[in-house]
Structure formats: C-alpha cells, structure tokens
C-alpha cells in the first residue's frame, strides 16, 4: 500500500510541475502583449490630455486616428505599413498626414440675411435672401504646394439693379512655399501664389465674412477696396509683421471680364472717301489708316505691409499701410465699374436691402459715338479714356485689451485724368453725327464732369466689447496667405458644453466723400437742371465745363449684436442710421445723362435693420 501511495504522489507532483511549466510559458508569451496594451493605454491617456488643449482643428480626433493606424500597422505582420493619417469632422472634413506634408479640407458657408428699411428710397422695404452660399476645397501637397478653390452660388449672373453681388468663382489659386524662398528675417519661407485672390489691401477687406464683427463691411472699405483679382503675388511673414505684393488684372467679380473689342482705343479711325465723279455715292480710296481697336484690360500693382509691436494672449496693437496703382487702359465703367464708377456698388452697409445712395458717373467718359462730318470719319463707338491712372492708399489700426477692441482705417484715391480726352468726349457726346456741330439747344449740352485730377476719401472707426469675456487678440493671424487678419474667436463657454456661447456688442461710424471740384452737391444738381431744361441758355457750356464730380457723400452709424454659440455657428443683428447723405447724381439712381437726373436724396435719413444667421465649416 505504501509503495502505491508513493507512486501516486510522484505522478501527481509531476503533473503539477508540468502544469506550472505550461503556465510560466503562457505568462512569458503574454508579457509582450501586456506591454503593448500598457503602451496603448498610455497613448490613449496622452491623447485625452492633448484633447483638452487641442486647437480648433480637433487634434484629439486626429491623435486617436494616429493611434489606431499605428496599432494596425504593428498588430498585423502580413499587412504592409502605411503612413498614419489624421482625420477630423469638426468644422468640415479635414485630412492630414502625420508629417503634415499633405492635407485636404472641404468647407463652406451659408449666410442668410433679412431685414427692412424705414424710408427705403431706392432700396427694398423688406427683403430676405442668401447673401453667401459657398463651397470650398483647400489643402497642401508635398509639403510646399498649397491651393484653394471657392465657389459662391448666391448673387446674380451680372451686375444689375439693386443686387450688385456677382455669383461664381471667388478664390481660385495655387502656390508654393519652398525652403528655396527662405528669408533671413522671416519666420517661415516666403510664398508665391497665382490665381484669383484678394489683392493685399486693408485689414477689413480681406477679413472673412465668417469672422467679421458686422454683417457687412463699412462704407469706406466697400468703396475703395479692390476685392479679388487674378494675378501673381508674393508674401512673407515674421513673428510680428507681414508683407504681400503683386500684379493683378481682371476679376470674376467685374461687371464684365473685358473691355468691348472693336472700339478704337483713341479718337476714331480716319478713312478718306473720294466723291464719285458720276454723282453717285462716294467710295473709299486705297488709303485707309488703321490703329488698335481697344479691348486692353486694366492692371493693378498692389502691396500691403503690417506690423504688430504688441501681440500676446490679452493685448494687441496692429498697424498697416496699403498702396495700389490702377491703370485702366481701354476699360470703362462697363467692365471696370468698381474703379471707374467709384462707389456705385455700395449698398449702405446692408447689401441684401439694395439701397445705393452714392457713386460717381463713369470717370473714363464711357463708350461714346463719334460724329461723321462729311463722311471723313467713321462713326464707330470708342472708349473715352478720360482716366489715365488711379493711385489709392490705406492706413489701418487695430488694438485690443481683454474683451475690448478698436479698429480704424482711412482711404484715399487720386484720379489722374486726361483733359484733352475729356474735352474731346464732351464734344463728341453732343456733336451731330451728320455735321459734327454742337446744337445751340441747351437741352443737348454734354456732361463729362471733373477736370485734370480728382481726389476721393473715406474712413471708419469701430469698437467692440465681448460681454462673455472673449479676447480678439487671440484670433489675430499673421500666417494667412492674404496677410495679417482676424480668424475664429476663441469661445470660452460654448453652448454645446453647457455655456452661453460668445456674446458681443459693436458700434461703427463710417464716412465716404466722392464729391470733387468747384461745383458739386446741390449746387451742381441745380446747375445741371438749369442748363438741361432751360433753353436756350448761353451760359450752359460754362457751367458744365467747370462742373465738379458729384459722386455723393454719406455717413453711417451702425450698432450691432453678435452671438457665437459654438464654432461654426453665429447670429448677428445690425441697425444702421444714415446720418448724412448728399447724393443727387450717380449712375445707379440717376443715369449718366443730365436729362436723367433721377431722385435727389440729399437730406434723407434712412434706417436699415438687418439680421444674419450663418453656418460655416
């Protein structure tokens, strides 16, 4: 019996030892997996920590995606490794490789406006519509290339009537930012870009409608800013400065992309006719003088320089200067209306309501028909070419301390004009096509206002206060390819997190003066009425020859309320009071001829009310 028990005990010990060895082998095999699990847990904790301090690009989701990609790459030996990719669905679709060499973003915006006018004059009593309906794609490639395409479905096909916003392409550019362009005093390499982009002019002009403190830009900015044009530009930035400059031409936002072809660029095309000896109709000789037939587009040379001597989390002081040289060539207001019919697109800081009270006549004398006295000259229309060049400039200031902010800009534009072209166009406007003579009848007295030069200017001053404590200095951006501007406000307590969002108040005073010369305002209006409708009037030509440019003068006060419940959603309300207006004559409300003087709104004080709901991603 004892021997049997001993044998049984020995067998039991052997089995236990065998099981222990198996357990030890299993534990040894599981240790690498435990280490891998521990590493993944550590990475997950780091991802959660990063998510608390993540930027608006939602780096928490991107880090989580990176961890998942890394785990797949390590956990499967038969799967070829692939580079980690960050993906975010917050504020659009954003995809980026781990090394940030490649990225792609799909975004857009929906801006819905509505409101009404007390004393609408030539605007709408009330109106609701889509101010901007845009889709856009942008990104980077190979670490040095960048691109953007943006299309707006709102607006009209042409510049007509109350709505002066043209639908279609907005941004459409690509560029390169290569180490080859490294500058010793710049923070990153300089960049070169080509396509449709904002000309570098004014801090508010390039500020996106997603982030502006008012529903529309100020009177002064709407009047003098160049907006987007097709061109070639170069820019650079440092820790506290930016510069961008370039050469530009036509714009997708112009009334027409090209000046009309087939119109002589200068006075007429002489063609000699020989009378028929048999008494029949004259016939052309073999001697015909040809010259250019127009169609030459305008071009701009524009630049902007900014500097921020104070810039930290709570305080900002920003200053800047812009300059622009514009040469019209064969352009008239028919295609280059934003310069040669200055102010005619301005809609009193409430575009959806369509109230336009200022704007000059065609400062290039328009396209007119030449006389054909005795058949010596053909009667083709031609461009007046009364404006040789325009030099405009802007100075800017922006400052903020905590929730308080101020911003101001001043603009000026010098118009260099050709007095001979003005006189010639004035003569041909009223000359008889049969005889070339100007009738004595005062009702046909021509009107081409202004003299050898003209100067127009405008400015605005605005203040903001964020009731919920947001700080504008934190949204200041010097890396934007348009130049220094303001981006997304950092909302302290979003509605989605149980807070009230960002609430702010804003107030702005803006002024534009487009009158120039010895006779303007009501004086010019009365003189034109006198010389047009009282016949005969021997003094008519004297009055017109000394007339000024009467584009009008307007001053607005705007008060606004802003609410950003979350990033990507906002609601705005503006009340605008027209404090002063002198606007008896412009292309929009009066027509180009003195016999079509239209309404005189001088002394009116309309009140415009507008609200906006916007979503952007």
Does residue 8 surpass a pLDDT of 70? no
Task: With cut-offs at 50, 70 and 90, classify the pLDDT of residue 501.
Answer: very high
- The predicted structure's pLDDT at residue 599: 63
Dump strand ranges (E) for 48-167: 85-88, 93-97, 103-118, 126-141, 145-152
- The predicted structure's pLDDT at residue 583: 73
- The predicted structure's pLDDT at residue 350: 95
308 touches 396 (CB < 8 A) = no
For the chain, percent of residues with pLDDT exceeding 90: 53
Give whichever of 65-74, 209-218, 262-271, 431-440 has the largest mean pLDDT. 209-218
Q: Reduce the DSSP state of residue 447 to 3 states and report it.
A: coil
DSSP 184: T
Q: Report pLDDT digits (tens) over 152-202.
A: 999 887 777 677 778 899 999 999 999 999 999 898 999 999 999 999 999
297 touches 249 (CB < 8 A) = yes
For the chain, percent of residues with pLDDT exceeding 70: 71
- The predicted structure's pLDDT at residue 609: 98
Does residue 229 surpass a pLDDT of 80? yes
> Nearest 5°: phi and psi at 63?
-65, -40
The arithmetic mean of pLDDT across residues 231-245, rounded, is: 97
The arithmetic mean of pLDDT across residues 106-135, rounded, is: 95
Give the residue, 270 or 312, on which the prediction is more confident: 312
- The predicted structure's pLDDT at residue 71: 43
- The predicted structure's pLDDT at residue 81: 57
- The predicted structure's pLDDT at residue 116: 97
The arithmetic mean of pLDDT across residues 583-587, rounded, is: 61
Does residue 564 surpass a pLDDT of 60? yes
- The predicted structure's pLDDT at residue 433: 55
Does residue 546 surpass a pLDDT of 70? no
- The predicted structure's pLDDT at residue 451: 77
- The predicted structure's pLDDT at residue 524: 64
The arithmetic mean of pLDDT across residues 527-534, rounded, is: 57
Task: With cut-offs at 50, 70 and 90, classify the pLDDT of residue 75.
Answer: very low
Task: With cut-offs at 50, 70 and 90, classify the pLDDT of residue 553.
Answer: very high
Dump strand ranges (E) for 517-606: 549-566, 569-582
Q: How many CA atoms lie within 13 A of 49 on its CB side?
A: 6
Instruction: Give 316-346 as a 3 state SS string.
Output: EEEEEEEEEEEECCCCCCCCCHHHHCCCCCC
Q: How far apart are CA 280 and CA 478, in angstroms?
A: 75
Q: Tell me the chain's radius of gyration from C-alpha atoms.
A: 34
557 touches 605 (CB < 8 A) = no
Give the residue, 212 or 264, on which the prediction is more confident: 212
Among the ranges given (16-30, 140-154, 295-309, 557-571), the one the predictor scored with the smallest mean pLDDT: 16-30
Q: Taking all residues of the chain, what is their mean pLDDT, rounded to a whole number?
A: 81
Give residue 222's Cα distance to chain centre.
Answer: 10
Give the residue, 454 or 446, on which the prediction is more confident: 454
Neighbours of 211 (CB within 10 A): 17
Q: How many CA atoms lie within 13 A of 504 on its CB side?
A: 29
- The predicted structure's pLDDT at residue 212: 96
Does residue 293 surpass a pLDDT of 70? no
Task: With cut-offs at 50, 70 and 90, classify the pLDDT of residue 366.
Answer: confident
Does residue 2 surpass a pLDDT of 50? no
203 touches 242 (CB < 8 A) = no
Does residue 74 surpass a pLDDT of 70? no
Residues with Cβ within 8 Å of 400's Cβ and at least 6 positions away in sequence, in order, are 315, 316, 406, 471, 472, 473
Q: Report pLDDT digits (tens) over 331-346.
A: 999 899 999 999 989 9
Burial 346-368 (b: 16+ CB within 10 A, else e): bbbbbbbbbbbbbbbbbbbbbbb
Among the ranges given (54-63, 261-270, 590-599), the one the predictor scored with the smallest mean pLDDT: 54-63
Nearest to 297 by CA among 345, 245, 247, 344: 247
Q: How far apart are CA 553 and CA 550, in angstroms?
A: 9
Tokens for 292? 């250019």
Nearest to 111 by CA among 550, 617, 566, 595: 617
Among the ranges given (166-170, 264-268, 378-382), the one the predictor scored with the smallest mean pLDDT: 264-268
- The predicted structure's pLDDT at residue 14: 72
Neighbours of 45 (CB within 10 A): 10
CA angle 580, 582, 583 (to 5 degrees): 130
Q: Reduce the DSSP state of residue 301 to 3 states and report it.
A: strand
Give bridge partners of residue 507 from the DSSP assignment.
463, 559
Task: With cut-offs at 50, 70 and 90, classify the pLDDT of residue 44.
Answer: low
What's the Cα-to-Cα distance from 283 to each of 77, 162, 270, 378, 379, rounded to whole Å?
Answer: 91, 49, 14, 13, 16
Q: How far apart are CA 278 and CA 328, in angstroms?
A: 48
Q: Report pLDDT digits (tens) over 457-480.
A: 999 999 999 999 999 999 999 999
- The predicted structure's pLDDT at residue 138: 97
- The predicted structure's pLDDT at residue 336: 93
The arithmetic mean of pLDDT across residues 45-55, rounded, is: 54
Q: Reduce the DSSP state of residue 524 to 3 states and report it.
A: helix
Nearest to 462 by CA among 372, 576, 376, 552: 576
What's the Cα-to-Cα distance from 327 to each of 51, 111, 236, 365, 411, rounded to whole Å?
Answer: 52, 34, 26, 15, 18
What's the Cα-to-Cα distance from 583 to each of 343, 447, 604, rounded to whole Å?
Answer: 11, 17, 10
Does residue 362 surpass a pLDDT of 70? yes
Among the ranges given (5-9, 87-91, 449-453, 562-566), the one the predictor scored with the smallest mean pLDDT: 5-9
DSSP result, 358-380: -----TT--EEE---GGGSB---
- The predicted structure's pLDDT at residue 59: 43
The arithmetic mean of pLDDT across residues 296-318, rounded, is: 96
Q: How far apart are CA 189 and CA 433, in angstroms?
A: 61
Per the listing, tokens 């009193």 go with 348
């Amino acid at each position: 019996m004892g021997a049997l028990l001993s044998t049984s005990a020995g067998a039991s010990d052997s089995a236990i030892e065998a099981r222990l060895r198996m357990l030890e082998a299993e534990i040894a095999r599981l240790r690498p997996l435990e280490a891998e699990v521990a590493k993944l847990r550590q990475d997950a904790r780091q991802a959660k920590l990063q998510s608390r301090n993540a930027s608006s690009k939602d780096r928490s989701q991107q880090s989580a995606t990176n961890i998942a990609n890394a785990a797949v790459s390590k956990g499967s030996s038969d799967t070829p490794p692939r580079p980690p990719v960050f993906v975010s669905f917050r504020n659009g679709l954003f995809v980026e490789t781990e090394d940030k060499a490649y990225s792609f973003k799909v975004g857009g915006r929906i801006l819905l406006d509505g409101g009404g006018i007390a004393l609408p004059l030539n605007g709408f009593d009330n109106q609701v519509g889509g101010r901007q309906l845009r889709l856009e794609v942008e990104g980077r490639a190979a670490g040095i290339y960048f691109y953007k395409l943006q299309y707006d479905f709102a607006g009209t096909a042409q510049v007509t009537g109350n709505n002066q916003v043209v639908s279609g392409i907005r941004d459409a550019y690509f560029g390169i930012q290569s180490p080859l362009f490294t500058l010793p005093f710049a923070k990153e390499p300089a960049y070169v870009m080509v396509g449709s982009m904002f000309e570098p002019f004014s801090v508010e002009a390039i500020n996106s409608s997603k982030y502006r403190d008012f529903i529309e830009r100020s009177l002064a900015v709407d009047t003098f800013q160049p907006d987007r044009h097709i061109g070639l530009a170069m820019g650079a930035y440092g820790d506290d400065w930016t510069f961008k400059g370039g050469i530009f031409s036509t714009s997708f936002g112009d009334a027409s992309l090209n000046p009309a072809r087939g119109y002589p660029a200068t006075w007429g095309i002489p063609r000699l006719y020989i009378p028929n000896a048999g008494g029949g109709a004259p016939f052309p000789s073999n001697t015909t003088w040809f010259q250019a037939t127009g169609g030459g587009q305008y071009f701009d040379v524009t630049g902007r320089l900014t500097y921020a001597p104070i810039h930290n989390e709570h305080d900002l002081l920003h200053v800047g200067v812009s300059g622009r040289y514009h040469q019209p060539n064969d352009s008239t207001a028919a295609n280059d209306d934003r310069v040669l019919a200055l102010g005619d697109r301005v809609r009193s800081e409430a575009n959806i309501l369509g109230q336009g009270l200022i704007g000059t006549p065609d400062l290039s004398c328009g396209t007119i028909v030449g006389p054909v006295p005795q058949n010596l000259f053909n009667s083709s229309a031609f461009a007046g070419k009364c404006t040789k060049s325009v030099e405009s400039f802007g100075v800017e200031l922006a400052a903020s301390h905590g929730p308080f902010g101020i911003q101001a800009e001043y603009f000026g534009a010098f118009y260099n004009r050709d007095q001979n072209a003005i006189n010639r166009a004035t003569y041909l406007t009223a000359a008889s096509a049969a005889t070339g003579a100007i009738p004595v009848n005062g009702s046909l007295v021509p009107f081409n206002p202004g003299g050898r030069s003209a100067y127009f200017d405008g400015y605005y001053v605005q203040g903001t206060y964020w009731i919920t404590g947001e700080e504008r200095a934190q949204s200041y951006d010097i890396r934007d390819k348009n130049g220094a501007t303001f981006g997304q406000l950092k909302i302290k307590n979003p509605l989605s997190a149980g807070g009230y969002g960002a609430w702010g108040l804003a107030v702005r005073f803006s002024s534009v003066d487009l009158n120039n010369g010895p006779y303007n305002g009501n004086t010019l209006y009365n003189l034109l009425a006198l010389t047009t409708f009282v016949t005969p009037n021997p003094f008519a030509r004297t009055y017109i020859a000394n007339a000024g440019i009467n584009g009008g003068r307007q001053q607005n006060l705007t008060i606004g309320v802003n609410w950003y419940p979350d990033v990507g959603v906002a609601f705005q309300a503006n009340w605008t009071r027209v404090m002063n207006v002198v606007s008896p004559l412009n292309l929009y409300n009066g027509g180009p001829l003195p016999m079509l003087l239209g309404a005189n709104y001088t002394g009116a004080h309309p009140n415009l009310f507008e609200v906006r709901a916007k979503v952007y991603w």
